[in-house]
Amino acid sequence: SMSRSRAAPPRLAPTFGVEIEIFVRLKPSFEENIRRKRLKKEHLPDYFQEWQEDLPNDSNDRLAVRQRLRVCFALKALIEQELGPDSGWRCELDLSLRQHELTAPPDPRKWWGIEMISPPMSINKHWQQEIEQVFEAVGQQFNFWTTEHTSCHVHITPGPDRSSKYTEGELANVAKGAYFWETALLDLLPVDRKKTKYARPNYELYAGLEYSKVGQDSWGPLFKKIDATADKGREIFVQRMMGIPELDEDGSRYGSHNFEPVPVEVLGTVEFRRQAGVASAETTIHRILLAITLHISARTYDFKRAQSRRSHPSSDELIAELARCERLLPAETCKPRYSFVRWLQDCQRDYRGGRRFTEKEINDREAALRPRSIRDLEPATTSAGRATSGRSAQGTGTASAGRANVGGERQGGSAPLPVRPAQSTARTSAGRTNAVGGRSGGSDLSRSAQSGTASASSGRASAAVVERISTSRSDRPSSSVPR
């Protein structure tokens, strides 16, 4: 049976930040508006004055980087228009996104890979509304596309404020949870996310021998090794969890649960890297909830009782455990529109037997989850008719006042995965907390181009930035996109 703590710890208000890697494309009708305004010499922001509509995304690196910067400026401006100039959201270049390899989306040479990075958010604030607002604001002018190259990473601190850092005991429990639920988590992931170089199972980096002998020796030896390592201090603990010094020089140190940001004073997070890309607010919210409930589980589960167990928990046990942890979260701010538990069960069912979905199937499904107010402005992704399923997409969201409603083609394509009704983004007032600080050298926060952060007040790409970035194209191998 499941082993868990009866009494919740005093702190259960984690803060988090999300990194969203995604491809975006300026909608054709809005692109025409820009051309028209430019010809008439009407006012446009610098980034649209310099916009190169006909520049393919596989062009010369320097030109492509300049265009990507303009995309970042445009997205940042839309988000600031919706949430205000102090929202804390950033849009950055991400050279690991292989836009030049795209073949599946409409006009594949029109898409640009960027990363949207949230500010620190608290589970006690209306963070889901803010995620929805960001997607709807950007979606008024841009299409979204996700591929096997994109990912969605979630950084988490214990909370409830910036001064609350992980204790060595909490870090040990997070590590135990990563190992304990690893096999069960695999059932909720597509084949390509079960093992990926940049989100490796933690046992590949440390304590692999003890992990391999759980069936023979129980979880006890592994848990004791983790505790003993944590007792040596957080710096040594983080190094060991990253595979230092055992890891080969060519190996990746990014585990599924990445502990590298922990010692960074302005960050202090554990990063959950296992999930891949998103192209809707709903999927982003579920991704965040998975990371948060895994965190809550690590802090409330009774690993002392579990250490005598000689088997790996099943995915049914994991779903039951995450459901328990979801009930510990404030319902007003953490209850998603579509049941989190049902989403977990959907993942379990959809990926049973190593089932795969095509890039178009995934994006059709993601498009159907977006509000009609932005979905109706998108080009068809396939030649099929409008998305249909047992639960048809019935979006009722409306564009926020002040944002451009540019018109355009209706969204097409079939929806091979279950489609939930896309609902209005109206919620109660939003809020956030500045509990988590800056950026970690090992996370996606820093993998974006240093100096490439988008600022709505300046649309001109620095030549120095372009020179620096254009010579550093990433050769990161691809990863898949679990849905």
pLDDT of residue 267: 78
Nearest to 479 by CA among 199, 117, 178, 188: 199
Question: What is the rounded distance in angstroms from the CA atom of residue 166 to the CA atom of residue 172?
Answer: 10
Tokens of 481: 């996109």
Tokens of 276: 């891949």
Question: What is the rounded distance in angstroms from the CA atom of residue 153 to the CA atom of residue 277?
Answer: 9
Residues paired with residue 21 on neighbouring β-strands, in sequence order? 115
User: With DSSP H G I counted as helix, E B as strand and the rest as coil, what are the percentages for the chain, rounded to 5?
Assistant: 40, 10, 50
Per-residue tens of pLDDT for the chain, all 483 residues: 444 444 444 458 999 999 999 999 999 999 999 999 999 999 999 999 999 999 999 998 899 999 999 999 999 999 999 999 999 999 999 888 999 999 999 999 999 999 999 999 999 999 999 999 999 999 999 999 999 889 999 999 999 876 689 999 999 999 999 999 999 999 998 788 888 888 999 999 999 999 999 999 999 999 999 999 999 999 999 999 999 876 555 556 689 999 988 987 767 899 999 998 999 999 999 999 999 999 999 999 999 999 999 999 999 999 999 999 999 999 999 999 999 999 999 999 999 999 999 999 999 999 999 998 887 555 545 433 333 333 323 332 333 333 333 333 333 333 334 444 444 444 443 443 333 443 333 444 433 333 344 444 444 444 444 444 444 433 333 333 334
In sign, the C-alpha dihedral spanning 156, 294, 281, 334 is negative
Residues shown for the chain: 483
Q: Exposure of 204 by Cβ count < 10 A (0-12 exposed, 13-18 middle, 19+ buried)?
A: middle
pLDDT of residue 247: 53
133 and 430 Cβ atoms separated by less than 8 Å: yes
pLDDT of residue 377: 55
pLDDT of residue 344: 98
The reply to whether omega before 160 is within 30° of 0 (cis) is yes
Question: What is the rounded distance in angstroms from the CA atom of residue 134 to the CA atom of residue 78?
Answer: 8
* 3-state secondary structure string across 230-276: HCCCHHHHHHHHCCCCCCCCCCCCCECEECCCCCCCCCCCEEECCCE
Question: What is the rounded distance in angstroms from the CA atom of residue 288 to the CA atom of residue 138?
Answer: 20
Within 10 angstroms of residue 424's Cβ, the number of other Cβ atoms is: 15
pLDDT of residue 379: 55
231-236 long-range contacts (CB < 8 A, ≥24 apart) are 231/168, 233/168, 234/166, 234/168, 234/171, 234/262, 234/263, 235/263
Q: How much is the pTM?
A: 0.81
Q: Position 273: which residue type?
A: R
Question: What is the rounded distance in angstroms from the CA atom of residue 177 to the CA atom of residue 181?
Answer: 6
Tokens of 17: 């930040």
Question: What is the rounded distance in angstroms from the CA atom of residue 116 to the CA atom of residue 80?
Answer: 13
Q: What is the number of H-type helices and E-type strands within the chain?
A: 20, 8
H/E element holding 282?
helix 281-300
267 and 437 Cβ atoms separated by less than 8 Å: yes
pLDDT of residue 162: 67
Residues paired with residue 26 on neighbouring β-strands, in sequence order? 142
Question: What is the rounded distance in angstroms from the CA atom of residue 80 to the CA atom of residue 89?
Answer: 8
Nearest to 455 by CA among 31, 190, 194, 75: 75
**DSSP for 335-398?**
--SS-HHHHHHHHHHHTGGG----HHHHHHHHHHHS-HHHHTTSPPSSSS-S---SS-------
Dihedral angle computed from the Cα positions of residues 130, 134, 140 and 142, in that order, rounded to the nearest 10 degrees? -160
pLDDT of residue 176: 99
Q: Position 122: which residue type?
A: S
Residues paired with residue 376 on neighbouring β-strands, in sequence order? none
164 and 157 Cβ atoms separated by less than 8 Å: yes
